[in-house]
Structure 1
């Protein structure tokens, strides 16, 4: 019986718990779509995690909204509106169903009779159900407004969205007068501008960066009424409130359509106000002013200078220039277990069980690449299991911990489908349990498209780092089904809310960064394998000296770059694959047992040929050193 001590609550069902775990691991796209109500056959129900249906369902319809609670992102609020002409039943139980038709959450509620108009007391009734999830980032929160009734909030949001698309924008506090770095608290046009203020940025060296911004102690973001191409249209008007030069002026965007925000040059022209602007300053003056602006910020003791201003891409080989292991390979077995292999340097290709793929380098025609890139990675997959993962592990689990990061990249596929973008934290051997740090999805098409994703990386306070192998992993989880190709190019991961220009490092520097994790004696254009002649290749030269008391004829391979950890060494016969393949120069055939890694460190490997009876001479041995995470 319902009384003052009765409890009303919502829980995930067992099916819902299992789907949340899969969604959190990036293995499932979870869409909660419908709410059902029931009268529980007149009883006072208690939610049961083993329920698969309501006790007595009376109505089921699409959700009106599904969103995180503003005060706690781990609580989801589902809402449904029952129109006035539906009813004639009691509401004692609620259930949420996903796109698979499974009951994933269930709740009880205080009994409420929903009348309908024909009873003379019809009303529109809104039902809300709050339930706890580990992270709302793993659940698709998109609701189709075409199939649900509108709440007041939905109407308010729709009106705000329409207003934001008008040419006349809300006024700004100040407007810039020179190029500047779009980050930090600064003085603009003679005024100390506080955080949260709206600013018209109109004087950048790269006009694509002009627009309306919100001031922040970190990197600035574009204002909500001018943060996409639909809201920034020719004729945009904005009034400036204050400033030594631009107070009480109106500025108009004179760039012609079509406008692609972040790509098109945005030009603002004085339209009205008390002060006509002076003639534009020349380029040299702009550069000097910009340099002085940067200098002032760096010297300011109050400025927390964002890392992304320096354009530091935390990925290695993000432009796919280095391919030490070769330009093509295989991964997976159509009848076997999941497999993962390294393709281009630092990039892992993972295939689920019962699937296989080829990975290969594809070359862009001159001028057709992105950010001066020459190559992209292509994965061609097949098999009964779906999907393929591409990932890179970044050394150090503290990387970006507790910060907001931006991932920018180009993707395309031979079929249109979704691709997850995830960041995983791993604390290494003996450390805390890791897992998905943050994630979202993008939609792939058959044409290359630039995607920009902003993610919040959890803090690691209270966590324990293991003895070896901790990292932050960027994962692209393709969710396509069947046989298709996936191409990726020009990937950048940086701190902050803004995707800055791609960082172009010299190829020699990029190679050295790769060699901290993998190095070979072969020339860079030769994939490691037996049978590669020593002529014309970079080789490890080993000299077996005269055996004698205290002597140890050992040759050394000094690594070009100190390795992350003690690497595993693999030796290759330069003279052939078969048992007669030589490991040295000269006419004597020496077996592989006489050429083996003896001492390996992070700076060098030593090769032992000290067996009694071997004639002293020069040996040529190809090798690879692998210190990947």
Structure 2
């Protein structure tokens, strides 16, 4: 007799247990197909694992659904719907059958009468059976959708699940313009956002925290259509309704899959809308908000533009093709010395370094590279490094930048990669900001990829001397003598390292000459005593000197310089023609020439010695406008 002490439960039959073992071992894909109900001949049945049939089966029909319990994956929930036009019996026992027709699970239940419409109380009844399994991996539902019914909740849930997995999401009220605290009611993009509003969060310091959120008086929660990994996929799109900057815009997720929500970096880029981001103007201090977003969109790895049209590498001479200062040298002071164009080598006090242009065997270089920078350090204090400065502290500010490069070391070590924001000199400038990550470096060439979330420069102050920059630094921590080799270096906007993009050598040379230019042929290092007749492809001048302090030549730079450069003149060979000129500062004395009228486009050179006869003179020189 059923009373308050009665127990209702389900269990696998002996046949079901055997098939479950095979399913767990991967020897069987277990297909469950039907559920039966019975009246147990009016008794109060107790499920028995030896059963092969129900006590008195009244109806058997295909299952409507079979899925793990939402909070316990070790429980399977089988469901069947009995329509209103079937019934006229009591339900006291349940049975689950597989595709072989075997009774694999049996259960008892509280008695329930299934009435018929003809009785005036017809109803659609849902029968659920929960039973424990050790694993549901190889258990599947096998149904004929033409002969099963669905509850309204099942349909609603199915539609909601399908909609939530679509890439195009329900719109957000606003989108962030910077990092925010994910808690409480607050103003975003110039709009007071009430509780319950949807917000596209796209600018967090940790990109894994980006996504769609619902504002709450306490902590925000992720929106129901973007709260799990299967709902947040590459290409996800969101429209934004309100805001000073982001109103009526569309944003899409460009992070590559597979994505793990809460772990993977979620990077959103502007896709469209009336408030299109504007490209930067010449004056970097007047850069329009969102201009970097447009650049990121254009240069995204998902955009297949010709490499000769859109340049993405923020570094100059990343392929190490240009060596205006020569093919080797030494560094022995606690400061940075330029080596391969735009690349500096720094050593701490007590350490010396030898740098060299190192060739790759034809066809063996990474990304087709011909050359690498090889630096050998002596033993001493750690901290020796290779670095490059990129003009403009605004570069990449508030965005994710990714560095990729090939690197090895004769001593296995942990190196630190730093991306530094330097605000220059002149005035009360803001302090440098360092972003850094460690990498493990071995004797084998390996591609290293490091991403940085750069700080915003809003509210910061840069100097007045036009020498602000960001700087990529690769620091060796080894204190023993060792050698490192660097090749194929790229720094780009975005959280993904895309394929290395080489420039044509003539383009790379012109970019380098904005900072350093020489009159020597490209295969000749600047030095005193170089014969201009054999090495100078285009003489600085061949002028006649006839009077004191008379300008005799003007060197027209091939590329306008970043700033007014320092000029260094080099002495030729011998005491007679083609002339004897001392290597020295801008202003020199005694049998020398000096540079005057120095500008960013050219420099004039004059004589400062009335004793020299009137004759033709050739002068070698360098112009240095480095950061």
**Judging changes above 3 Å, is the alpha-carbon distance between structure 1 residues 328 and 299 closer, same or farther for their aligned structure 2 residues?**
farther
- CA deviations 1:23-56 (Å, max 9, x no partner) are xxxxxxxxxxxxxxxxxxxxxxxxxxxxxxxxxx
> What is the CA distance between 1:613 and its match in structure 2?
4.7
SS of residue paired to 2:507: helix
> What is the CA distance between 1:371 and its match in structure 2?
1.6
The yes-or-no answer on 1:400 pairing with 2:396 is yes
The answer (yes or no) to whether the contact 2:577–2:616 under 8 Å persists in 1 is no
**Judging changes above 3 Å, is the alpha-carbon distance between structure 1 residues 299 and 542 closer, same or farther for their aligned structure 2 residues?**
farther
The Cα RMSD (Å) is: 3.7
> What is the CA distance between 1:221 and its match in structure 2?
3.3
Aligned to 1:144: none
The answer (yes or no) to whether the contact 1:516–1:627 under 8 Å persists in 2 is yes
The whole-number CA distance in structure 1 between the counterparts of 2:311 and 2:253 is 15
The whole-number CA distance in structure 2 between the counterparts of 1:438 and 1:218 is 25
How many residues align structurally? 359
The yes-or-no answer on 1:584 pairing with 2:579 is yes
The whole-number CA distance in structure 1 between the counterparts of 2:322 and 2:230 is 42
The whole-number CA distance in structure 2 between the counterparts of 1:382 and 1:585 is 38
**Judging changes above 3 Å, is the alpha-carbon distance between structure 1 residues 175 and 470 closer, same or farther for their aligned structure 2 residues?**
closer
**Judging changes above 3 Å, is the alpha-carbon distance between structure 1 residues 523 and 553 closer, same or farther for their aligned structure 2 residues?**
same
**Match of residue 535, structure 1, among 519, 533, 542:** 533
**Match of residue 460, structure 2, among 430, 446, 463:** 463
The whole-number CA distance in structure 2 between the counterparts of 1:491 and 1:196 is 37
Matches within 5 A, 1:122-521: 173=165, 213=234, 215=236, 217=252, 219-224=254-259, 305=294, 306-309=297-300, 310-332=310-332, 338-430=334-426, 431-468=428-465, 469-521=467-519
TM-score (norm 2): 0.52
**Judging changes above 3 Å, is the alpha-carbon distance between structure 1 residues 600 and 223 closer, same or farther for their aligned structure 2 residues?**
same
Aligned to 2:49: none
**Judging changes above 3 Å, is the alpha-carbon distance between structure 1 residues 299 and 365 closer, same or farther for their aligned structure 2 residues?**
farther
| Structure 2 unaligned regions, length at least 5 | 1-136, 138-160, 169-201, 203-224, 238-251, 278-292, 301-309, 582-587
Aligned to 2:561: 563
SS of residue paired to 2:510: helix
Aligned to 2:42: none
The whole-number CA distance in structure 1 between the counterparts of 2:392 and 2:528 is 35
Regions of 4+ moved over 4 Å: 194-201, 225-228, 296-304
The answer (yes or no) to whether the contact 1:553–1:609 under 8 Å persists in 2 is yes
**Judging changes above 3 Å, is the alpha-carbon distance between structure 1 residues 627 and 311 closer, same or farther for their aligned structure 2 residues?**
closer
The answer (yes or no) to whether the contact 2:235–2:253 under 8 Å persists in 1 is no
- CA deviations 1:271-295 (Å, max 9, x no partner) are xxxxxxxxxxxxxxxxxxxxxxx9x
The whole-number CA distance in structure 2 between the counterparts of 1:174 and 1:524 is 57
**Judging changes above 3 Å, is the alpha-carbon distance between structure 1 residues 594 and 354 closer, same or farther for their aligned structure 2 residues?**
closer
**Judging changes above 3 Å, is the alpha-carbon distance between structure 1 residues 483 and 540 closer, same or farther for their aligned structure 2 residues?**
same
The answer (yes or no) to whether the contact 1:554–1:608 under 8 Å persists in 2 is yes
The whole-number CA distance in structure 2 between the counterparts of 1:195 and 1:370 is 40
The answer (yes or no) to whether the contact 2:514–2:559 under 8 Å persists in 1 is yes
SS of residue paired to 1:605: strand
The whole-number CA distance in structure 2 between the counterparts of 1:555 and 1:302 is 50
**Judging changes above 3 Å, is the alpha-carbon distance between structure 1 residues 460 and 225 closer, same or farther for their aligned structure 2 residues?**
closer
| Structure 1 unaligned regions, length at least 5 | 1-162, 164-169, 177-182, 184-193, 202-211, 232-293
**Judging changes above 3 Å, is the alpha-carbon distance between structure 1 residues 308 and 615 closer, same or farther for their aligned structure 2 residues?**
same
- CA deviations 1:470-510 (Å, max 9, x no partner) are 11111111112201101111111111111112122111010
The whole-number CA distance in structure 1 between the counterparts of 2:505 and 2:473 is 24
The whole-number CA distance in structure 1 between the counterparts of 2:227 and 2:623 is 52
Matches within 5 A, 1:599-618: 599-609=597-607, 611-618=609-616
> What is the CA distance between 1:520 and its match in structure 2?
0.3
Aligned to 1:15: none
Aligned to 1:622: 620
Q: Which has the larger radius of gyration?
A: 2
The answer (yes or no) to whether the contact 1:573–1:583 under 8 Å persists in 2 is no
> What is the CA distance between 1:610 and its match in structure 2?
5.3
Matches within 5 A, 1:1-40: none
TM-score (norm 1): 0.52
The whole-number CA distance in structure 2 between the counterparts of 1:424 and 1:504 is 24
Aligned to 1:138: none
The whole-number CA distance in structure 1 between the counterparts of 2:413 and 2:388 is 22
The answer (yes or no) to whether the contact 2:556–2:602 under 8 Å persists in 1 is yes
The whole-number CA distance in structure 2 between the counterparts of 1:223 and 1:533 is 62
Aligned to 1:118: none
> What is the CA distance between 1:372 and its match in structure 2?
1.7
SS of residue paired to 1:541: coil
